[in-house]
Amino acid sequence: MTAPGRPLELWTVDDPELAPGEVWLDIVASEVCGTDVHLHHGRLTGVPYPIIPGHVSVGRVRETRGVETDAGGRPLAPGDLVTFYDVVGTCHCCYYCAVAGQPNLCPQRKVYGITFGVGDGLRGGWAESIHLVAGTSVFRLPGGLDVDDVIGGGCGLFTGFGAVERADLEPDDTVVVQGSGPVGLAAAAFARLAGAGELLVIGDPDPRLDLARRMGADRTLSVSGSTREERAAAVLEATEGRGADIVIEASGNPAAIPEGFALLRAGGTYVIAGHYTDAGPVAINPHLDINRKHADVRGRWGTELGHVARSLALLARHRLPFADVIGGRYGLERTGEALADVEAMRVTKAIIAPS
Ligand SMILES: [Zn+2]
Ligand SMILES: [Zn+2]
């Protein structure tokens, strides 16, 4: 991706020379995330174009320099099928890392496929191989998980997990998830596993709502097939008129925010996780939506290492059907088409498969 708005190009980059602690993977599958669409529109700041996109990927270990175990302490060797945490370089000693305990906000943090430029080397998943710097947390796929199980969830898996963790869900809490893309589907699946009571997903189109029910939603509501009043009535009906204990926003659409506040019960928790990029402002009523409502409003920006480790373990334990989220596979010469299909919502999850 040479610059925002430009057609994607296929480039040849030199093979890496591995330094101690580094890992070289052959990419088996990478994903197209909504963030990649935003990258192509130039909506993220600090992106050093040209970049190799692709932040979450599954690969096969080609070579390592002195790395003998994965992030879970299991033996790691050439040929192993792995994924990796897309964030690297958090410093462990800045205010955010060391005092606040929020390494996702560390200014040193780098993200494969987003904040590395091509000049840094093979640092994105839309490529035949990727060169992981020392300190990257690599995970062997646990418990017989297949490539598609993991990449079908992609980074939405980890973001959805992080959103549910941020909600501090109590057993049997009524949960509304706004959005039925990869983040919303994962949030629904993990909210169910975390002990949600009634679980409603609001989204579109129908195939995504079918998937949401398979992930554990009790009920789905189509945005295009219902009015805002009808959706509010459905949530009130499910909660004896109180509103949802927890609302998780995973839509990326600013218009979802006022509706989310309206669906939340007094004293409920609203987690906003779908706005990784700036989609613009929206009006809320501070008195009605937050102050009078005594609402607990929480942002979820980026993921943490624990979200990756735990969501992979849950995926293996519960066999969540994320492989079925994959709607299209594209070779490296068709990445532009893959981006266009994701943007137009023709596919929920598009996969880049180099070979
Ligand atoms: Zn992503
Ligand atoms: Zn730091």
The pLDDT tens digits of the residues spanning 10-35 come to: 999 999 999 999 999 999 999 999 99
- Answer whether residue 143 shows pLDDT above 90: no
Between the CA of 89 and the centroid of ligand 2 the distance, in Å, is 8
Closest ligand, as measured to the CA of 93:
2
- Answer whether residue 75 shows pLDDT above 90: yes
Query: Is the pTM for the entire model greater than 0.85?
Result: yes
Q: Are 38 and 44 in contact (CB under 8 A)?
A: yes
pLDDT tens digits, 336-351: 999 999 999 899 899 9
pLDDT tens digits, 149-203: 999 999 999 999 999 999 999 999 999 999 999 999 999 999 999 999 999 999 9
Query: Of 181, 144, 142, which Cα lies nearest the Cα of 163?
Result: 181
Q: Whole-number mean pLDDT of the chain?
A: 96
Which of 59-63, 142-146, 302-306 is most confident?
59-63
Between the CA of 154 and the centroid of ligand 1 the distance, in Å, is 7
Q: Parallel, antiparallel, or unpaired for β 23-32 and 129-132?
A: antiparallel
Structure tokens at 300: 């979820």
- Quote the CA–CA distance of 349 and 290 in Å, as a whole number: 34
Between the CA of 85 and the centroid of ligand 2 the distance, in Å, is 16
- Answer whether residue 276 shows pLDDT above 90: no
What band does 47 get if pLDDT is binned at 50, 70 and 90?
very high
Closest ligand, as measured to the CA of 57:
1
pLDDT of residue 322: 96
Between the CA of 203 and the centroid of ligand 1 the distance, in Å, is 19
3-state secondary structure of 71: coil
pLDDT of residue 11: 97
pLDDT tens digits, 248-266: 999 999 999 999 999 999 9
Between the CA of 262 and the centroid of ligand 2 the distance, in Å, is 37
High-pLDDT (> 90) share of the chain, %? 96
Cα dihedral across residues 332, 315, 168, 230: positive or negative = positive
pLDDT of residue 144: 80
**């990478």: which residue's tokens?**
30
